[in-house]
Amino acid sequence: MKGVFAAVVTAALVSIPHSAICRSIDEPQDGQSPKNSSPADQMTAANYTPATPSDRVDWAVSGTIGLRSLLVVGPLSAGFETAINEPEEWHQTWQGFGKRYLHREADVAISNTIEAGLGAIWGEEPRYIPSGRKGIWPRARYAMKTAVLAQRPDGRLAPAWGRIAGNTLNNVIENSWLPPSSRTVGNTLLRSAFGFLSRMGGNAWEEYWPDVWRKLRHR
């Protein structure tokens, strides 16, 4: 039960996207053009432009060693798991905190590398592309289904095989260093399932957060 609780909270932390943390830094001043904005920030599913090799590298790298990963989600995730002593073999010590922090970074690095690399073979889009739709539920359905579907070069949605492989294989690979209590079949499957739930949460935030931010700015 403790492992399930840890997975739920960790998934919630991971679902907070980089844009939510860095919005105030990257937001352009009035009359200025945006800086360091990716094409996905300006496009929707209706005017989709395929990711370039550079976009894929940027996505994989920023998700692993970007500000959000290194300074926010990583410490929060490791701190929470240390507080509840999950896995218990790593103990509630600074050394245990370090192991959990490095474990999460390795986990994200493996998953992102597999998804961006393998998906490039058939042009699978790793980034979240906003729906451009109207209404809460149409947008919510799109955010949920694009956890397991992704745009192809022509813009159509198809199974995100690179993402599925990345989120599955990374949990198998990390069993090579995880302690016995975490590398059971059940826990491995649980980590994979919450990886997809985390993706849904992140997609929903990316879909709705720009609207919320604009309203907050103009109140």
pLDDT digits (tens, 9 = 90+) for 39-49: 455 799 999 99
**In which residue are the tokens 């649980």 written?**
190
Residue 27 makes CB contacts below 8 A (sequence gap 6+) with none
Rounded to whole angstroms, how far apart are CA atoms 141 and 43? Answer: 19
State the average pLDDT over residues 175-188: 95
Average pLDDT, the chain: 85
Assigned domain for 36 exists: no
Q: How confident is the model at residue 125 (pLDDT cuts 50, 70, 90)?
A: very high
Assigned domain for 176 exists: yes
Assigned domain for 23 exists: no
**In which residue are the tokens 């929707």 written?**
44
- Give the E-state strand segments of 64-134 in sequence order: none
State the average pLDDT over residues 71-98: 95
Percent of the chain with pLDDT over 90: 74
Residue 191 makes CB contacts below 8 A (sequence gap 6+) with 7, 171
Q: Tell me what pLDDT residue 6 has.
A: 52
Q: Is 159 left (phi over 0), alpha (psi -120 to 50) or beta?
A: beta
Assigned domain for 6 exists: yes
Residues of the chain by 3-state class (helix, strand, coil), percent to 5: 70, 5, 30
Tally of structural domains, the chain: 1
Domain that holds residue 178: 2-13+50-217
Assigned domain for 24 exists: no
Assigned domain for 41 exists: no
Q: Tell me what pLDDT residue 28 has.
A: 41
Q: How confident is the model at residue 183 (pLDDT cuts 50, 70, 90)?
A: very high
Assigned domain for 40 exists: no
Q: For residue 150, list its beta bridge partners.
A: 158
Assigned domain for 26 exists: no
Q: Tell me what pLDDT residue 122 has.
A: 96
1 vs 219: which has the higher pLDDT: 219
